[in-house]
Amino acid sequence: MGGSQSSDVHDWNSVSPVLQLAGRQFTLLDETLRDGVQSPSVVDPPVEDKLAIVHLMAKVGIGVVKAGMPSAGPRAAADALAVVTEIRDARLPLLAACAARTTVNDVAAVADIAQKTGVAVEVYTFIGSSPVRLYAEGWSVDDIVRHLERSTTFAHAQGLSSCLVTEDTTRSSPEVLEPLFRRAIDLGIRRLCLCDTAGHAMPDGVRALFAWTQALVRAIGVPVKLDYHGHNDRGMAVTNALTAIDCGADRVHGTALGIGERVGNAAIDQILINLALAGAWHHDLSQLVTYCQTVARACGVEIPANYPVSGRDAFRTATGVHAAAIVKAERRGDLDLADRVYSSVRARAFGLTQIIEIGHMSGLSNVGHWLARHGLDYDDELAREILACAKAARRVLSDDDVWAVVRERRVRLATK
């Protein structure tokens, strides 16, 4: 093999692709500081951590940050104000948005931040639209239209651009959505957010909802942008988000590590990984792991070991046959091949490297790699002692475990 041919793999994904992501025009909206902190298991980070997270959002190419829901309380209002102020003062390439119920008081809290900062904060006003919610609240379609009219009229009078967020859109009927969307557009709303609030949708449902909404917008004859916001109750959130991009979504929402209410939201970091692999994301993602780790630390969330890219096992192996292949690629001087021989994701694209450990499924290649990495000459007898220790263990050996074997052998040799 002359030079690296690791890019010459046969890609079955490209044989008859359903998703066409490359070339799509869209932005990502990060909900970590709003929807993400709704999780009952996370810590609402101190404002200093929120500002650091916002800077990392900008570094990975996020376009819009949801600064919070200022009507939720004094701290929520103060933190949202601080986030928007930081975006302004640091001249971050981010648009700012805030969430609000379809009430004048909620919208007024967003307007206050816009007035104090001079930033054109978008207000995302949300109201339930599914029959489940309407029945639970005792609402009629006329009721939710009246809520929409009052809040939107006030928002526009305050100079705010607004997006109508229909909660649980994926379980809402056309008979409810059509009059609601038509009235929103009549009122001057030029952005609608289609929501999978309960994590109900499958990709076919996302496609059907977008097709129906786009046909309605075309019939009305007014240009309207469409957002997609999804949750992960059925484990489909990332797939559905990518499907929404393929369907023409202008903005797709997500949170770092998928944190959020119940089982969480679409993981925006996983969306980014898949977009990059599809050739649809061209921003530098070398800070993506730092972004995830910063959110995890600030929110008191543990990143699972097997989590894509950011998990500690993402590019880590203790299996002998895998390690042997990686070592052979490295010996060729082909780091790209080493990165891809047992992974579809390139560690180096995220500022990481392949890691070879020693465990009960390891071979001598694992041990040789460890010795070389730690500046030690290969010694067959020492290597076999280390491997024997690993075979007897129930977990991967730590560096301290291996060094203990090395020191013990040195003592034996010194006393001969």
57: CATH: 3.20.20.70
Cβ neighbours of residue 237 closer than 8 Å, sequence gap 6 or more = 196, 199, 230, 231, 254, 258, 264, 265, 266, 267
Residues 322 and 388 in one domain: yes
Per-residue pLDDT of the chain (416 residues; tens, 9 = 90+): 344 555 577 888 888 788 888 888 999 999 999 999 999 999 999 999 999 999 999 999 999 999 999 999 999 999 999 999 999 999 999 999 999 999 999 999 999 999 999 999 999 999 988 888 888 889 899 999 999 999 999 999 999 999 999 999 999 999 999 999 999 999 999 999 999 999 999 999 999 999 999 999 999 999 999 999 999 999 999 999 999 999 999 999 999 999 999 999 999 999 999 999 999 999 999 999 999 999 999 999 999 999 999 999 999 998 989 888 988 988 888 888 888 888 889 998 898 988 899 999 999 999 999 999 999 999 999 999 999 999 999 999 999 999 999 999 999 888 87
Is 305 among the domain residues?
A: no
Does residue 93 sit in the same domain as residue 168?
A: yes
Domain interval for residue 371: 316-414
Q: Does 284 map to a domain?
A: yes
Residues 271 and 324 in one domain: no
Question: Do both 95 and 230 map to the same domain?
Answer: yes
Number of domain units in the chain: 2
Residue 272 in any domain: the answer is yes
**Gap between the Cα atoms of 285 and 292, Å rounded:** 11
Last residue of a domain, one of 274, 299, 324: 299
Same structural domain, 82 and 114: yes
Question: Do residues 222 and 329 both lie within one domain?
Answer: no
> Are 234 and 94 within one domain?
yes
Residue 90 lies in a domain: yes
* Residue 10 belongs to some domain of the structure: no
The answer to whether residues 27 and 137 belong to one domain is: yes
Same-domain check for residues 360 and 270? no
In Å, how far are 31, 35, 219, 238, 270 from 169, measured between CA atoms? 18, 17, 20, 17, 23
Residue 42 lies in a domain: yes
Q: Do the domain assignments include residue 375?
A: yes
Q: Provide the token pair at 213.
A: 């909404």
Statement to judge: residues 324 and 175 lie in one domain? no
Task: Give the domain-ending residue among 299, 332, 354.
Answer: 299
Residue carrying the six token digits 């869209």:
26
